[in-house]
Amino acid sequence: MAEAKVIQEQLRPKVINTDDLGEVKYVAGVDVGFENNYAISQAAIAILTYPELELV
């Protein structure tokens, strides 16, 4: 717990709290799954237009 707090304090100056992205045209979602004691992995990414949220 104390180690996590130290790491958070070290990362604090790196937090960006201003909007410098410009216009957002796409958003994405990612999922990863593992089976068979991590011998098999699967991943998927969905990219959507924004703000319509239509699948690209």
* Cis bond upstream, residue 13 (ω within 30): no
φ and ψ at 53, to 5 degrees?
60, 40
For residue 36, CA distances in Å to 8, 26, 42 come to 35, 34, 12
Would you give the end-to-end CA distance of the chain in angstroms? 42
pTM for this prediction: 0.59
The per-residue pLDDT for range 8-55, each reduced to its tens digit, is 999 999 999 998 889 999 999 999 999 999 999 999 999 999 999 999
